[in-house]
Amino acid sequence: MSLEKEGYRKCMEFRRLGRSGLSVSAVSYGHWLSHDTADQEERARSCVAAALDVGITTFITADAYANTAAESVLGRALKGQRRESLEISTKVFWPTGPGGPNDKGLGRKHVMESARASLRRLGTDYLDVYQAHRFDRTVPLEETMLAFADLVRQGHVLYVGVSEWTAEQITRGAALARELRVPLVSNEAQYSALWRVIEAEVVPACEREGIGQLAWSPLAQGVLTGKYRPGRPPPTGSRGADPGGAGGFIQPFLRQDVLARVRRLRPLADEAGLSLGRLALAWVLHNPSVASAITGASRPEQVRENAEAAGVRLDADLLGRIDQVLDGVAETNPALTTSP
């Protein structure tokens, strides 16, 4: 499907990213899972096509995903689309390539070289948002922010952002961004009804600095879809059945008490006329600091269902009842904000 020919589908909602002038689709497509086989690439292409078809224009990836292969797959899947109609974001920090001493982190050499390599793999002249995938304690923050500033001035990057930084790190980065006149506009953070660690400190810091949230894992690695049942083993082939790799992120949500509480959300979803997954996405999107909920998928129908959460409004009573159900199992400790 061509956005240029078909236009934007009416079901999608668009939001400004922080206080910037950049609009992003409220539901975005996250390109995280491995794509190192032909079969996986074909599924990825189908999901990207479905995303475009339902009006998703924001695509988020990282150079470290599948050791750069994910960026290449996404670039091929988006080839032929009108570039101005897309918002493409990638990230830098984790090791890539053969793992040499300068193949990781936020030093100037790695940031500059990684940006150029990401542009080649994605098949684009510029990145809408370039994000620091984690905070790098081994490199002066001034060095990192100056590298980002140079990429902006060179026209390779329009906006910059961070991912999983603490409130204090974000505040320091924002001060340097102002000094360098760099548009620091996003924080990509894990956020869901079960993982609320950014609410106490990170979100207020970002609101002060005009930074919007790009929420990853809004479905808590699929647990909030109800696919995992208390007292039963994870479904065969699911992420929960694989404790290694990406499956490691789901383990905190597979406790029996968590699964039992998620099961109690189903009547609330039924009452609202929503699937559990759409209820969970709508819960994330009710937070005005969230510009976009990043969703992944292995099948096109999952992309279409996720997109239906855009524009859904949950009333205060329902939100309160969701909070009551999850009270005691939703994680809120701000110290758990990820940063090496």
Amino acid identity for residue 145 in this structure:
M
CB 63 within 8 A of CB 90: yes
3-state secondary structure of 269: helix
150 vs 180: CA distance, rounded Å: 10
> In the 8-state DSSP scheme, what is residue 176?
H
> In the 8-state DSSP scheme, what is residue 306?
H
3 vs 57: CA distance, rounded Å: 9
CA 6 to chain centre: 26
Phi/psi region, residue 208 (left: phi>0; alpha: psi -120 to 50; beta: rest), is alpha
Say whether 65 is catalytic.
yes
Q: Catalytic: which of 8, 29, 65, 191? A: 65
**Residue holding tokens 């109690």?**
264
3-state secondary structure of 91: strand
Structure tokens at 162: 């961070």
Alpha carbon distances (Å) from 313 to 32, 273, 289: 28, 12, 15
Residues catalogued as catalytic: 65
